[in-house]
Amino acid sequence: MSGPSHQLGPHHDGSELYVPRATPRLGDVVPVRLRVPAGGDERAVWVRTVRDGEPRMSLARLDHADAHERWYVADVLVHNPVTGYRFLLDEPGGYRWVNGTGVHDRDVTDAADFRLTVHAPAPGWLDDAVVYQVFPDRFARSSGHDGPPAGPLPDWALPADWSDEPIAQGPGTPEQLYGGDLAGIEQHLDHLQRLGVDTLYLTPVFPSRSNHRYDATTFDEVDPLLGGDAAYASLSAALHGRGMRLVADLTTNHTGAGHEWFARARDDSSSTEASFYYWTTGDPGYVGWLEHASLPKLDYRSPEVTARMIDGPGSVIGRWLRAPFSVDGWRIDVANMTGRYGELDLTHEVARTIRATIEAQNPDAVLVSEHFHDAAADLGVGGWHVNMNYSAFTRPAWTWLGEPGTPASFMGLPAPVPHRGAGSMVATMRDFDSAVPWSVTRHQWNMLASHDTARLRTVVGSAALQEVAAALLLTYPGTPVLFAGDEGGATGVNGEHARVPMPWDDIAAGGGPRWDPATFEVYRALIALRRSSRALRDGGLRWAVVADDAVAYLRETRDERVLVLLARSPWSGATLPRHLLTRGAATTLYGDVDLAATDDGLVLPGAGPTVGVWRLA
């Protein structure tokens, strides 16, 4: 074998090769499968479950075998809403455990056990979705002009020309107003469809006193600066008419200090609205999100704030699900903090209430949480369907592909983006992925950048490495999410600086200083690749090679096996078992590097930076 050895040992994940797809009910018995290489020396395979807090061991039976692999199957009783399990390999001289982080010749905690859950997964359309995030102020003006925004502007606004660079930090960052509107987005839906995305995620559209609109002054209407309710309804209709979807954004954790509820609460301590907020004796007299006085925090001990915000068809959550707006789901801002303050923790109750409201009106709508760190404890309780997957995807991908010395800020950490080998990236991904059920992992909202981070191009420093990053995004389990402009190589050192206006003049001209048409074609081709392969959309994940500068993994369904190779720089290459290609030749799906099938095996080339994707017959 040349180069690093492969890592194709005993394997299990939650995909269809190993676990039935249907959501189990309490009392169901679910068969779970483990594949073991034929060269293994196991004497028996057991499955360990935890029932009502107590471990149980059950012997697995050999289901079938061939010259290359043995498949075992064991029955797991779903006795608890979330049922954990892992496999034990009984081997000469001892035993090994197989859990979500791999194979271990030591004892392990339950934290990375595989999980069956009775909670329904995200709606099925996420199996195929590619999401496109738009920050409304910076996408397009329906007027098309380049100077300062037209018309009367609010007193807080600092008008900006469409070609101005966003303020990166300090005074003015939330006030700099470019004047993008909803009609402008509607005028450019052809761009989204040409790219290949099918779901539009819009950050908030409610009136506020900032360009980001996370400080709403009301939830009852769309900001007139964006075109008002009529423009939102028109955009929704245009999207749905094209077979696309619209996901909205809401701050359930707080309102703006200018919100009508907060005004009544401050004016009258005996008002119903006074119970909506947390009050303190210190300045400013109330609790703000992260101590920001402009964002007073909502108190869900109040039945009335629960009813108005999240519970039932008349709530904020419910109202915008109905026609004429008909949003297809909600992304919940700072979901990890909603309902949490001091000794109070109502987050799971809030999440389940929102989900019940959504399912009662549109069972096909999605509920996405924003949670920058470890969201596992919040994702297995029947509330949020999935999370914006910074911890399990964005952060580890940046550490592997980030340019050494990049000026990009590392998502709030007081340290630069580190430059680490692929082993660190993969271990991080496996740690976080293993902490949630596969039914969550396969729909997680994976991103390489968002309106809250630096731009991907700034992080990686080159078009070649952005292609590697985009290939990871579009071939990895989960729902790919693109931030508008990344497909043209937009730059920015932090979240504020990254909110650059779309350069429509450069786009129309076929390229320019603010638009890289070659990068657009890379994204377009990779999205088309994902749509062409069920394995890439819905298959399991087996890591095959993890070297410092390259990774290779298999995505597999019952009818398809796809091999993905990603290299950030030249490396030594590797050889995989020949039996992965059962007959014929490998079909190149993406890239211009060759996969050589020899008597010794499948030889992965050592070129880099590069991407190779092959369908193995």
Class of the CATH-defined domain 254-297:
alpha beta
**Can you give the pLDDT at residue 582?**
80
**Residue intervals in the chain for CATH 3.20.20.80:** 124-136+165-248+301-510
Contact 263, 216 (CB under 8 A): no
**Residue 21 amino acid letter:** R
Q: Is pLDDT above 90 for 7?
A: no
Q: Is pLDDT above 60 for 371?
A: yes
Q: Is pLDDT above 50 for 281?
A: yes
Q: What is the mean pLDDT of residues 370-392?
A: 95
The pLDDT mean for the chain works out to: 96
CA 188 – CA 198 distance, rounded (Å): 13
Q: Is pLDDT above 70 for 3?
A: no
Query: Which sign does the torsion angle of CA 348, 353, 358, 360 carry?
Result: positive
Contact 554, 544 (CB under 8 A): yes
pLDDT in tens, 110-134: 999 999 999 999 999 999 999 999 9
- pLDDT bracket for residue 142 (50, 70, 90): very high
CA 353 – CA 97 distance, rounded (Å): 38
Q: Residue 315 has which token pair?
A: 């709530």
Architecture of domain 124-136+165-248+301-510 in CATH? Alpha-Beta Barrel (3.20)
**Can you give the pLDDT at residue 2?**
45
What percent of the chain lies above the pLDDT cut of 90?
Answer: 96
pLDDT in tens, 455-510: 999 999 999 999 999 999 999 999 999 999 999 999 999 999 999 999 999 999 99
**Residue intervals in the chain for CATH 3.90.400.10:** 254-297
Query: What 3-state class would DSSP assign to 348?
Result: helix
Contact 11, 539 (CB under 8 A): no
pLDDT in tens, 521-531: 999 999 999 99
- Give, rounded to a whole angstrom, the gap between the first and last alpha carbons of the chain: 22
Q: Residue 304 has which token pair?
A: 């009335």
CA 469 – CA 436 distance, rounded (Å): 24
pLDDT in tens, 458-473: 999 999 999 999 999 9
Query: What 3-state class would DSSP assign to 604?
Result: strand
**Can you give the pLDDT at residue 278?**
97
Q: What is the mean pLDDT of residues 331-350?
A: 97
pLDDT in tens, 542-554: 999 999 999 999 9
Q: Side-chain half-sphere of 273: how many Cα atoms within 13 Å?
A: 12
CA 441 – CA 101 distance, rounded (Å): 14
Class of residue 280 by CB neighbours under 10 A (exposed 0-12, middle 13-18, buried 19+)? exposed
Closest by Cα among 387, 304, 384, 316 to 350: 384
Closest by Cα among 133, 157, 162 to 145: 162
pLDDT in tens, 160-214: 999 999 999 999 999 999 999 999 999 999 999 999 999 999 999 999 999 999 9
In angstroms and rounded to an integer, the radius of gyration of the C-alpha atoms of the chain is 25
Q: What are the angstrom distances between the C-alpha of 145 and each of 38, 135, 141, 161?
A: 66, 18, 7, 9
CA 530 – CA 492 distance, rounded (Å): 27
Class of the CATH-defined domain 539-616:
mainly beta
CA 243 – CA 248 distance, rounded (Å): 17
If residue 419 lies in a helix (H) or strand (E), which one and from where to where? Answer: none
**Residue intervals in the chain for CATH 2.60.40.1180:** 539-616
Is the omega angle on the peptide bond into residue 577 within 30 degrees of 0, that is, cis? no
Q: List helix spans (H) across 131-222.
A: 182-187, 189-195
pLDDT in tens, 566-583: 999 999 999 999 999 987
Q: What is the mean pLDDT of residues 363-382?
A: 95
What percent of the chain lies above the pLDDT cut of 70?
Answer: 99
pLDDT in tens, 256-274: 999 999 999 999 999 999 9
Class of the CATH-defined domain 29-117:
mainly beta
DSSP character at residue 500? P
| pTM of the entire predicted model | 0.97
**Can you give the pLDDT at residue 5?**
62
Q: List helix spans (H) across 435-545.
A: 438-441, 456-460, 463-475, 504-508, 517-532, 534-538
Contact 550, 565 (CB under 8 A): yes
- 547 beta partners: none
Closest by Cα among 467, 245, 286, 489 to 368: 245
- 480 beta partners: 446
